[in-house]
Structure 1
Amino acid sequence: MSASALSARCSQSRSWVDSAVRLIGADTRRSADTHLLRYPLPSSWTKNVDVSLYLKDETTHITGSLKHRLARSLFLYGLCNGWIDENTTVIEASSGSTAVSEAYFAALLGLPFIAVMPASTSATKIALIESQGGRCHFVTESTQMYAEAQRLAAETGGHYLDQFTNAERATDWRGNNNIAESIFEQLGEETHPVPEWIVVGAGTGGTSATIGRYIRYRCHDTRLCVVDPENSAFFPSYASGGADVVTGVSSRIEGIGRPRVEPSFLPHVVDRMLSVPDAASVAAAHHVSRVLGRRVGPSTGTNIWGAFELLAEMAAEGRSGSVVTLLADSGDRYADTYFCDEWLTSQGLDPSASADVLAEFERSGRWPRSSAPRDSGPSDVRNSHSAANAKKPR
């Protein structure tokens, strides 16, 4: 290609990219910020201790989950780095909410989107991705997703978004209405505008990286707690200091937990980690769904379990303050899994003992020393206080 022809092609692509960035910006402006809900803690014990719990409701994004923010950032990152143009096939390794949101943005820009996922992915998730215009490409094992996504990108001349590597670098953690900035702005007129804790799970690690960096950038006293489900590599890696931990088993809590430590997970911005049994995550999702009058997803249950534990600690020590966590996605996506008794039984998940813990917390504000059910699943994580409770020195 001659120099003049190459220059003309670059000019045409630049014009398309400028238009694409404006389209995404317009979509952002049309979307009101997500709500910050105050969770109704019982007056039976909060009248004696001044603590509050807030839920950042990410289910109100147009694609229904926290991953809408990540997908928007990944597309802008690819566009502004010159990796995505009007002829690009966009590819991701995801069977969940990230792929749903990415399919939305690909359709907004008129680009083909392929989600690489295990053949065992639920029909509900496949339908959600396809409803946004995406195409699903299947592999036998989840460990094959990364390499297959890279292969497809090379084969099509496309771009692999690679959420697990790029999540922490694609998000503007200093501001620009990221989730951390939004939380602190919305808390501005509350009794405790600077929370004691923000509690999040880790899937890519991007959300915890964004919030942890922002806390330090703004010099807040807030601490960041990351909650992790069974079978995930993040907690044992954090506890041991080894970045090469591999569990070889997939998480049963969709949206969070990974069998390896993903590049976007930044442990040094995390102040504490809690390992939460899967049955406890399910019990908490059911509990909060009843309180709010609408279903929330299982990763929200993991978040709530950790937030309740921290609130109980604050109450026991007589410390005032607020805790913030996320409603990551709607539980309506999981009607045939986490809200189905037959499915829970097939997975060996019995939330009844954990439900008793939650009922006692609501009644008294207290949290037992050993709160996990005796049979907590294949990885046998049984105590979210001692061996499964890691803190970094401050």
Structure 2
Amino acid sequence: MTALDRCSDTTRDWVCRAVRIIEADANRSADTHLLPFPLPPDWGVQLYLKDESTHPTGSLKHRLARSLFLYALCNGWIVEGTPVIEASSGSTAVSEAYFARLLGLPFIAVMPSTTSAEKVELIERQGGSCHFVDEPGRIYAESHQLAEKLGGHFIDQFTNAERATDWRGNNNIAESIFEQMAWEEHPEPAWIVVGAGTGGTSATIGRFIRYRQLRTRLAVVDPENSVFFPAWRDADPALTSCRGSRIEGIGRPRVEPSFIGEVIDRMIPVPDAASLATIRTVQQVLGRRVGGSTGTNLWGAFQIVAELTALGRPGSVVTLLCDGGERYAHTYYDDAWLARHGLDLAPYRQVLDHFLATGLWTVPPLRD
């Protein structure tokens, strides 16, 4: 029997060069800022926003895309010329298209045929192409079939997100947050608040907290029509939903493989109107637009700040500014779009105004 070499010197050289290109890109990029959100000092609670919109591709998903490419390269799944396929019509596809272009690889985003022209343009601007599917439920199967047909790799963010990132450190988002908090009045946050999305960010932060023996607790917010909250509450990972989330990037109709519910201390369901009311209020406070998932994060973070304030318990809370609001000018910031979707922001704007003026959280119990 003769030996069989699966990896030629040329292939190995290309992979080494590809990893170096990605690492060089990361080295050129400064860490994202940790911004204090203005709250009255006498509340005794500080709120911080980890501003992920400053990544080269403008969102939190830039970190995930980098990790997914390194994971696939080091597993031998991507080599020179490999077409890369992803099931995504949003920020993940934009970021993955960016890294594929860095490596000279073709990138195809599989997405519903109803995807907006703005999203398609963002992906194509980074050198990617789009493959449209009439039935949204077919996206995963179509991605697998396309990868097989082209001899490509389905990078599969929803399966690989929790394993592609080194949760023990290595400049992941959790390590970055705690390093940047080191000189603050309350350097170990009482709470970190994030959305579920793929599940990768919450898994990374939850594991890191335990690994570093920290007392910080992790809260995950979940928008309407997403199954993460009811599945976590009822310990039913098989739960699904036939309705899609209107808050891009965090709500899912199924519990994704990367979602690790055991590392989460609390989940908070958030109505879509509350998420979108929050981004309108935040625009007035910060003088800038943020995306809908940031509104979901802040609605949950504000609720926790109010609870700490009511208890007279000083501390800090950290959440994420996932992306900028420029991508949502024709949806979340468009009053006509809100009206078409039957979203009334006024009651939630009143809750937010009252909270920012008094520190009190007066919203009635939320329905899941």
Q: TM-score of the superposition, structure 1-length normalised?
A: 0.92
Q: Name the SS for the 2:301 alignment partner.
A: helix
Corresponding position of 2:63: 69
Offset of residue 10 of structure 1:
2.1
Structure 1: how far apart are the matches of 2:345 and 2:99?
37
Which SS does the other structure have where 1:361 is aligned? helix
Q: Give the superposition deviation at 1:286.
A: 1.1
- Structure 1, unmatched stretches of 5+, are 371-382, 389-394
Query: Partners of 1:62 and 1:199 in 2: how far apart?
Result: 23
Please point out which of 8, 16, 19 is paired with 1:18.
16
Q: Distance in 2 between matches of 1:208 and 1:141?
A: 29
Task: Report the TM-score, using the length of structure 2 for normalisation.
Answer: 0.98
The secondary structure found in structure 1 opposite 2:8 is helix
SS for the counterpart of 2:221 is strand
CA distance in 1, matches of 2:266, 2:135: 32
| Match in the other structure for 2:184 | 190
Match of 1:254 among 231, 248, 271: 248
For 2:137 and 2:262, the matched residues in 1 are separated by: 26
Between the aligned partners of 1:141 and 1:307, the Cα distance in structure 2 is: 35
The 1:115/1:8 distance shift into structure 2, 3 A limit, reads closer
- Aligned pair 1:232/2:230, yes or no? no
The farther-off stretch of 6-15 and 241-250 is: 6-15
Quote the offset at 1:212 in angstroms.
Answer: 0.3
Are the structure 2 counterparts of residues 9 and 263 from structure 1 closer, same or farther at C-alpha, using a change threshold of 3 Å? Answer: closer
**How many Å apart are 1:116 and its aligned residue?**
0.2
Change in Cα spacing, 1:266 to 1:192, as seen in structure 2 (3 Å) is same
SS of 2:108's equivalent?
A: strand
After superposition, where does 1:320-331 map in structure 2 within 5 Å?
Answer: 320-331=314-325
Cα drift, residue 294 of structure 1 = 1.0
How far apart, CA to CA, are the structure 2 residues paired with 1:289 and 1:178? 28
Partner of 2:214: 220
In the TM superposition, residue 7 of structure 1 has moved relative to its aligned partner by 3.9
* Aligned equivalents of 2:274, 2:29: Cα separation in 1: 33
After superposition, the C-alpha distances for 1:326-363 in whole angstroms (9 at most, x for unaligned) are 00001000000000000111111111110000000011
CA contact (8 A) 2:84 2:106 kept: yes
1:136 is paired with a residue whose SS is strand
Structure 2 residue ranges without an equivalent (≥5):
none
Whether contact under 8 Å (2:37, 2:48) holds in the other structure is yes
Of 270, 279, 299, which aligns to 1:285? 279
- Encode CA deviations 1:175-222: one digit per residue, 9 max, x unaligned: 010000000000000000000000000110000000000000001100
1:51 counterpart (45, 54, 71): 45
Distance 1:142 1:285 in 2: 28
Query: Where does residue 380 of structure 1 map in the other structure?
Result: none
Distance 1:89 1:357, change over 3 A: same
Give the Cα separation in 2 of the matches to 1:253 and 1:348.
14
Aligned-residue RMSD, C-alpha: 1.3
Aligned to 2:339: 345
Distance across 1 between alignment mates of 2:101 and 2:2: 32
Looking at structure 2, the residues matched to 121 and 61 of structure 1 have their Cα atoms a distance apart, in angstroms, of 23
How far does residue 248 in structure 1 lie from its aligned partner after superposition? 1.2
Count of equivalent residues: 368
2:30 corresponding residue in structure 1: 32
**Which whole-Å CA distance do the structure 2 matches of 1:87 and 1:273 have between them?**
42
Matched AA of 1:227: V
Cα drift, residue 141 of structure 1? 2.3
For residues 85 and 283 of structure 2, what CA distance do their matches in structure 1 show?
34
Please list every run of at least 4 consecutive aligned residues from structure 1 whose deviation after the TM superposition is greater than 3 angstroms.
6-9
Which residues of 2 match residues 137-148 of structure 1 at below 5 A?
A: 137-148=131-142
1:8 Cα deviation after fit: 8.6
Give the equivalent residue in structure 2 for 1:124. 118
Q: Secondary structure at the match of 1:366?
A: coil
SS at match of 1:325: strand
* Residue 99 (structure 1) aligned to one of 89, 93, 105: 93
Check whether the contact 2:351–2:363 (CA below 8 A) recurs between aligned residues. no
Identity of aligned residues (%): 65
